[in-house]
Structure 1
């Protein structure tokens, strides 16, 4: 003890801090722990994207052993050795096994482009300043076999802190295997609605079915990632939501309609739940307002709005897309801000019946708003009704859209009894434009006329039978269907899709 009698108190404190700095790193065991961090203020939102990729990239077996699926020694995904010179983390263990720290997440490195697009090119609200990183400690058992025993998220100091390229210990967190396993459940390989509802229920999320549909529409193939981000970031600010709000029907949310008109049930009208139907009278309605569903280049519904009265509503306006005039829950929606006219390309496949409505904005919580009171609604989208005659035969051809795909109908008169033999070698092809030659149809986007399936639920007229075929070709402006007799003789072509 006498040896250290002359040691300065300041040096002792420094040594104590040096030895205990690593143990001060906060450990995150669950997604609920993750929700306690201030993403978007002190912690970059982008670090969640990086962590989501990592959790879904590594392999975790039943014994909670984490194995790397890439080689950090080769710089895969831009990973490289981390020396831990500032003693941010625990010193490497001594023994027969070889331990090393690696870091990944520098988007400025060439190999980082191998990371998924949602990490390298994130949505604007999840962009960072390339400060966030993942550090992982590897134990190499055999050559090329990497076992991970520690994972951390961290971030570089701000440039204004004058700390160089050091990592900030105040915002360094250890991620346990349990948390990685939880995050891996939000896989990008699953995006169906049942998966979303199961994840919501398993993680006790307050997201209702409408919010799940909106997340799916907004994020598409990355719907599970969108739900993960919603739970961690947005839901924490919506604590005033009732836990069972997802069970409330849309009819219960609007308890004070503008007008209630008693309508006899025998009166022909849209189906109602009772004899009293809530009718909203549009305010500031103008005959110049246009709300319309069109088609984008990918077979999805495009919302078009023109001349909407944005200055009359202080809370703001939204356009929303509904499955039909009867539906009460929107499939997707968008704030129009101060744009009196504009377009919005949704992720909803084009189908007959889709309808655009104009709503006031209703704020649910500080990070979530949704359509409020309805102001106006447009007509339902309808497929073209005109069918073109197949020259010389009692049949006609029609182009229509279903689930965003180009489809065709054959209307055959009942008097045309031998149409199958007459059309034995005939076929219908789909073309991207009217300029294409007969043999320049889209690859494999055609069908023999005799293989069209009868639609007994659809009748052109009492003396007509309807047959249908749906291709895998995306419906888009310019698409056309043609009826080709044998020897490549064209007998009918539909108008180009608008």
Structure 2
């Protein structure tokens, strides 16, 4: 038995010790175990709140085994999807910590759901839509409040195993509106589609509210906004390094409706980088003269004299919403991202490694025009030893190549080569934005 435990030290000793430490910490947070518990929440069940859609999405990416152990297939310390460390500080007003205090450093709390945090642009549009369009739905804001960025998930993350030891849903860290989500409830949520989940918990989206409350009441002063009911879609894509505006399912057929390109969601409607009249086309594209850079956003206007946008698309995520890929047999992740119209490479290197180590002395990253391009047909490359340090993250150093890659277009890819040969050991997904 001792031999078996010595071979699986983490499972036999460290994790039980951590759970024992947790059990000694006082926790008076209510645990939700059934769908009915979510349905009975007093807040967060109306748009523009995003906590319940965020919870559904997170449960889909979780893996849960027969022992109710929850795991992720990625390291949240890389800040993917906007994960960030959560400091479980002592609250002087409440005279307590919000979550149980963890003894030791084997696990840490992380939060998810701050839609203004870098990386959150990789989240699905179903979570972001109200954040980017806070004033579009023409309905009483008393339904959900003005803040579309209140809700958070908080997880207790064990980095060695990628286990999620505890999962919480919170209304901006309010003790009275913070709940633990039981693994059995996670398992139940995973079995439901987004539509069925929202119906089960009583979440009222804008379209649901429209169809049940507005369209059936002709005396109301409010009306449904067709950009939501027709699922209008706006996005930025790339063509030879330049931003291409895409629009689809636009409900306005007038010839002077137009789309504008903006540096990011914070810019005023009058501060567009370029614009294009859509000439009554419900779907189409326009190649701008603006180089692709993270944060770009497309907005739709009903007519040429409109002072306010009718709808806003999501901001362009720097990595097109794609997670970094891990290098086999290395504690290193690689990511393809956009900057200044060019393809760029980023390496997340574990703190136990040194980029100047001989193992990386001849390693290089190559950029290719497509997934089918032979390894000898690279467009540009950079030796790893010439990467520069961008920042530090918990457990990792982040290094970047300086954006020597070719101009971005759909299909561009980065590959990692461990030596001067042409045998790569890892490749990113082709650029799809």
- The TM-score by the shorter chain falls in which range? 0.3 to 0.5
Higher RCO (C-alpha under 8 Å, 6+ residues apart): 2
**Bigger radius of gyration among the two:** 1
User: Normalising by structure 1, what TM-score?
Assistant: 0.40
TM-score by length of 2: 0.46
